[in-house]
């Protein structure tokens, strides 16, 4: 089930480049291939964990809109929950390896609380709700940046804003039923 889920919902052709973008933004300076690769691996772990949580939160709606999805059809969800928990553990471990451990852990914890609370109270999709969900991407940049967020906040903050704007634009283009797409007139 895990491999089928990853093939369907976490294709490296999509998430690999995104992880590299997050890594480059987090580094906030010219970096070696090794540094970018290491940061991109951290980005992949964050992306995978939150993709799993997002899909669990959307499972009821996906049963109607996307009944063919692996998670919707799965009778046993424990393996995927286990993977999500393992990724959470890895992400906490990575966050504690930064020079600014407190900041990285605080951002990661805040992100979990904010998205978890939102998932519990949301009734439907709104522009504000969708933008909150997309805020995880610039948060990933900041989590991966660690001490660089304090040492050189400007390039990291600029990268985070660019990532957020790009994620919002992509969501509006990719998902024609998103509230943002509806607000700006949808895809032409």
Percent of the chain beyond pLDDT 90?
Answer: 69
Residue 37 resides in a domain:
yes
Residue 132 resides in a domain:
yes
In the predicted model, is pLDDT for residue 147 greater than 90? no
Residue 166 resides in a domain:
yes
- At residue 173 the predicted structure's pLDDT band, cuts being 50, 70 and 90, is confident
80-104 pLDDT, tens digit each: 999 999 999 999 998 887 677 788 8
- Name the domain count of the chain: 1
Three-class DSSP category at 109: helix
User: Whole-model pTM?
Assistant: 0.91
Q: Stretch 170-184: mean pLDDT, rounded? A: 77
Tokens linked to 108? 């990661």
160 closest CA partner among 148, 172, 176: 148
Rounded-to-integer distance, Cα 179 and Cα 160, Å = 22
Residue 22 resides in a domain:
yes
What was the pLDDT predicted at 118? 94
Q: What CA dihedral angle connects 37, 43, 47 and 53, to 10 degrees?
A: 130
Residue pair 96/109 in contact (Cβ under 8 Å)? The answer is no
What was the pLDDT predicted at 81? 95
Range of the domain at 55: 2-183
Rounded-to-integer distance, Cα 147 and Cα 176, Å = 38
Residue 188 resides in a domain:
no
Beta-carbon contacts of 48 under 8 Å, excluding residues fewer than 6 positions away, are: 6, 10, 15, 83, 87
Mean pLDDT, the chain, whole residue set: 91
């Amino acid at each position: 089930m895990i491999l089928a889920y990853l093939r369907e919902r976490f294709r490296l052709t999509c998430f690999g480049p995104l992880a590299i973008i997050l890594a480059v933004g987090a580094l906030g300076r010219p970096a070696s291939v090794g540094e970018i690769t290491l940061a991109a691996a951290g980005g992949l772990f964050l992306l995978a964990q939150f993709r799993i949580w997002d899909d669990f939160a959307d499972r009821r709606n996906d049963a109607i809109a996307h009944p063919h999805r692996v998670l919707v059809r799965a009778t046993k969800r424990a393996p995927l929950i286990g993977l999500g928990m393992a990724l959470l553990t890895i992400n906490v471990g990575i966050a504690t390896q930064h020079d600014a451990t407190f900041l990285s852990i605080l951002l990661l914890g805040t992100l979990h609380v904010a998205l978890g609370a939102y998932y519990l109270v949301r009734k439907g999709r709104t522009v504000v709700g969708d933008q909150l969900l997309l805020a995880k991407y610039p948060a990933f940049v900041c989590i991966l940046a660690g001490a660089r967020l304090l040492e050189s906040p400007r390039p990291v903050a600029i990268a985070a804003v660019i990532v957020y704007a790009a994620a919002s634009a992509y969501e509006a283009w990719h998902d024609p039923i998103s509230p943002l797409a509806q607000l700006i007139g949808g895809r032409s």
